[in-house]
Chains A and B, each alone.
Chain A
Amino acid sequence: MENKYENIVVFIEQRDGEIQKVALEIIGKARELAEKLNCKVIGALIGYNIKAKAQDVIAYGADEVAVVDNKLLEHYATEPYTKAVVKVIETLKPDIALYGATAIGRDLAPRVSGRIPTGLTADCTKLEIEEGTNALLMTRPAFGGNLMATIISTGPRPQMATVRAGVMKAMKRDDSRKGEIIEIDAGLTDADMNVKILEVVKGENKSVDISEAKILVSGGRGIGKKENLSMLRELADELGGEVSVSRALADAGYAEKALQVGQTGKTVHPNLYVACGISGAIQHLAGMEDSDFIIAINKDNTAPIFDVADLGIVGDLTKIVPKLTEAIKKYKAENAVK
């Protein structure tokens, strides 16, 4: 009497047993969709020695967690993970399956889609349920962010999408939430490990995650020289934020790639984004347009960044930024004594 194809499965990406924020963001979104569909959200937690983390997934909004725990899943490799996810899908028969649009999700999800086979929509920034049909509407940028497209799945179930990190909002952790934990045996054997991972090298210094920053002071080629990054740093410190950059600076080696905002960098949506010497190329805008409040400082009054800025200042950033930092310092000092 099993009802076919219901519920939402969310792939819970973890690295070294640490659940990635993108997975919790998607759980948050899936929760909203599940209210509309009146169904359950099920986390698919796949890894090695991972079962203990299932309660975290529930605390963030999942109703159930399907766990596939196996030594072969210790490090990410395409085939064992694909087999595990396909097994979860075959067992649970979800109506929707969602993945993070990350270096893992974008390797795994297409492989799963090929095996089922069914459709997959990449890098979604918006997910909705269509009134009447209950179909999943998957909206994503295309043509370098010039165009948005809303896609529907016309293939076999589940409807599948990868979702960009930093776009959906995770729910507040609630440890009182309860849910069932289902263990699934994917029948993995050594033969499934068809690649040999010789070495895993983790980033030396864990860099700041700009996609989580509430305030960003962002520099572009207009800062002129690398040393001027320090004036952005000082402003960011005064504001309690972080520094990010355009691709021009990342490419020039002024800053690490992880700090790049945009289509090929990170999507950010801070409360405040201060764009200093950034022209506002479409690929840059794609990553920061959804910031709550955008201030742009640029000496060219025709720069496209002014089209998205809430407050635009035409002028020389090397003069304005230090003055602004001073003004904030002064303001804070005055308000502290009051």
Chain B
Amino acid sequence: MKIIVCMKQVPDTTEVRIDPVTNTLIRDGVPSIINPDDKAGLEAALTIKEQVGGTVTVVSMGPPQADVALREALAMGADEAYLITDRKFGGADTIATSYTISSAIKMLDYDLIIAGRQAIDGDTAQVGPQIAESLGLPQVSYVERIEKIEEDKITVRRQFEDRYQIVEVKLPCLITTLSELNEPRYMSVAGIFGAYREKEVKKVTFEEMKEYVSEERLGLKGSCTKVKQSFPKQAKGKGTVHEVSEDEAVEIIMAKLIEKNLI
């Protein structure tokens, strides 16, 4: 089974703060991590490989620093890693991103593509389905469990708000995974050693892809949406905070509930 895992390096959003003066994100000192849903996808791929054999190839589009995330994937057990990186790819929205990634994937061999449901920085959940569309593959998103893997098909449990479906889909196909799917393994010491000494992260730049893509569909130019404005979430006017005895606290709350007609 040849499995491709799509992965994104993201800032750990729990650590991101807004600079109150410039109103911009403070990314300094914020650690970068493998996006949690993607890491679950990688774990699923490695598990499938252990069960039925095959290869796991990770692909990531991003700046050169994303190399670290790909090395981590190699250290966890992935066989090959590709970093899709070029200034021409920068500023891409989800449509341009999925076009770029799917074009790179067309250069590879696969039976199954796994992407995380969504990335914690953008939270769009769009790139996986859009890659599937570009490649003309069937998709199942929101996968919370892999039920069965067979030579020519996979059976998964697909989550909805109020139900789940057990869905069987023929390979090749694309699934998107939820972080609840599994507990990703840690990198092994030997794995880390191998990831830096033996394995390599292959760079895919515009040069390698130019015969397969039309340049106007890449990056900022190829995007169909534009950020017009960004701003920190407005905090509403600060309320009052009371450090008083328990009985006084109850009195204060009661007064408010009555005033606001809430009881």
- Physical interaction between A and B: yes
Contact residues, B113-156 vs A (CB, 8 A): 120-130, 132-134, 138-142, 155
Q: Note all chain B residues with C-beta closer than 8 A to A201.
A: 163-166
Residue from B17, B134, B162 in contact with A203 in the complex, judged by beta carbons closer than 8 Å: B162
- Chain B proximity mask over A129-173: 1 for CB below 8 Å, otherwise 0: 000000001000111111111111111100000000000000000
A281: CB under 8 A from chain B?
Answer: yes
Contact residues, B158-180 vs A (CB, 8 A): 159-170
Find out whether the CB atom of A308 lies under 8 angstroms from the CB atom of B224.
Answer: no
- Once A110-B130, A306-B241, A320-B250 are accepted as A-B contacts, the answer to whether A147 and B226 lie under 8 Å apart by CB is no
B87: CB under 8 A from chain A?
Answer: no
Find out whether the CB atom of B141 lies under 8 angstroms from the CB atom of A122.
Answer: no
B240: CB under 8 A from chain A?
Answer: yes
Residue from B129, B236, B240 in contact with A311 in the complex, judged by beta carbons closer than 8 Å: B240
- Chain B proximity mask over A208-235: 1 for CB below 8 Å, otherwise 0: 0000000100000000000000000000
A121: CB under 8 A from chain B?
Answer: yes
User: What CA separation (Å) do A206 and B161 show in the bound complex?
Assistant: 11
- Once A153-B225, A308-B235 are accepted as A-B contacts, the answer to whether A315 and B133 lie under 8 Å apart by CB is no
Q: How far is the CB of B20 from chain A (nearest CB, A)?
A: 12
- Chain B proximity mask over A327-338: 1 for CB below 8 Å, otherwise 0: 110011000000
Of the 9-residue stretches B56-64, B206-214, B255-263, which lies at the interface with chain A? B255-263
Q: Note all chain B residues with C-beta closer than 8 A to A156.
A: 224
B243: CB under 8 A from chain A?
Answer: yes
A179: CB under 8 A from chain B?
Answer: no
A2: CB under 8 A from chain B?
Answer: no
Residue from B133, B227, B230 in contact with A114 in the complex, judged by beta carbons closer than 8 Å: B133
Interface SS majority for chain A:
mixed
Count, chain B residues at interface, CB 8 A: 77
Q: Note all chain B residues with C-beta closer than 8 A to A283.
A: 13-14
Q: Note all chain B residues with C-beta closer than 8 A to A113.
A: 94-95, 126, 130, 224
Find out whether the CB atom of A311 lies under 8 angstroms from the CB atom of B142.
Answer: no
User: What CA separation (Å) do A314 and B243 show in the bound complex?
Assistant: 5
Q: Note all chain A residues with C-beta closer than 8 A to B126.
A: 106, 109-110, 113, 120, 122
Q: Note all chain A residues with C-beta closer than 8 A to B130.
A: 110-111, 113-114
With both beta carbons as reference points, the residue of chain A lying nearest to B236 in the complex is identified as: A308
A188: CB under 8 A from chain B?
Answer: no
Instruction: Pick the most buried of A109, A146, A203: most chain B CB atoms within 10 A of its CB.
Output: A146
Find out whether the CB atom of A197 lies under 8 angstroms from the CB atom of B165.
Answer: yes
Contact residues, A85-137 vs B (CB, 8 A): 102-104, 106-107, 109-111, 113-115, 117-123, 137
Residue from B141, B232, B244 in contact with A148 in the complex, judged by beta carbons closer than 8 Å: B232
Q: How far is the CB of A300 from chain B (nearest CB, A)?
A: 11
Residue from A103, A311, A323 in contact with B246 in the complex, judged by beta carbons closer than 8 Å: A323
Q: Note all chain A residues with C-beta closer than 8 A to B252.
A: 311, 313
Q: How far is the CB of A285 from chain B (nearest CB, A)?
A: 8
User: What CA separation (Å) do A194 and B88 show in the bound complex?
Assistant: 35
Of the 9-residue stretches A44-52, A63-71, A288-296, which lies at the interface with chain B? A288-296
Q: Note all chain A residues with C-beta closer than 8 A to B224.
A: 113, 117-120, 153-156
- Once A149-B230, A152-B226 are accepted as A-B contacts, the answer to whether A206 and B125 lie under 8 Å apart by CB is no
Q: How far is the CB of A308 from chain B (nearest CB, A)?
A: 7
User: What CA separation (Å) do A310 and B16 show in the bound complex?
Assistant: 25
B249: CB under 8 A from chain A?
Answer: yes
Residue from A313, A316, A319 in contact with B253 in the complex, judged by beta carbons closer than 8 Å: A313
Q: How far is the CB of A234 from chain B (nearest CB, A)?
A: 14
Find out whether the CB atom of A146 lies under 8 angstroms from the CB atom of B98.
Answer: no
Find out whether the CB atom of B168 lies under 8 angstroms from the CB atom of A119.
Answer: no
Q: How far is the CB of A118 from chain B (nearest CB, A)?
A: 5
User: What CA separation (Å) do A111 and B155 show in the bound complex?
Assistant: 21
User: What CA separation (Å) do A309 and B253 show in the bound complex?
Assistant: 12
Find out whether the CB atom of A293 lies under 8 angstroms from the CB atom of B260.
Answer: yes
- Once A155-B225, A195-B168, A294-B239 are accepted as A-B contacts, the answer to whether A15 and B162 lie under 8 Å apart by CB is yes
Q: Note all chain B residues with C-beta closer than 8 A to A123.
A: 123-124
Find out whether the CB atom of B13 lies under 8 angstroms from the CB atom of A75.
Answer: no
Q: Note all chain A residues with C-beta closer than 8 A to B90.
A: none
Q: Note all chain A residues with C-beta closer than 8 A to B241.
A: 301, 306, 309, 312-314
Q: How far is the CB of A112 from chain B (nearest CB, A)?
A: 9
Q: How far is the CB of A318 from chain B (nearest CB, A)?
A: 10
Find out whether the CB atom of A104 lies under 8 angstroms from the CB atom of B246.
Answer: no
Residue from B120, B132, B231, B236 in contact with A289 in the complex, judged by beta carbons closer than 8 Å: B236
B197: CB under 8 A from chain A?
Answer: no
Other than the known A79-B138, A142-B123, A310-B256, what 18 A-B pairs have Cβ atoms closer than 8 Å? A78-B141, A110-B125, A111-B130, A120-B124, A122-B123, A137-B228, A144-B123, A146-B17, A148-B232, A152-B225, A153-B225, A195-B140, A200-B164, A239-B263, A282-B14, A307-B235, A328-B254, A328-B263
Q: Which 3 A-B pairs have the closest CB atoms?
A: A155-B224, A119-B224, A114-B133
Jot down 20 A-B pairs with beta carbons below 8 A, ordered by A. Answer: A76-B165, A106-B141, A111-B130, A111-B133, A113-B224, A114-B95, A118-B224, A120-B94, A120-B95, A142-B122, A149-B229, A156-B224, A202-B162, A239-B262, A294-B239, A301-B241, A311-B252, A314-B242, A323-B246, A323-B247
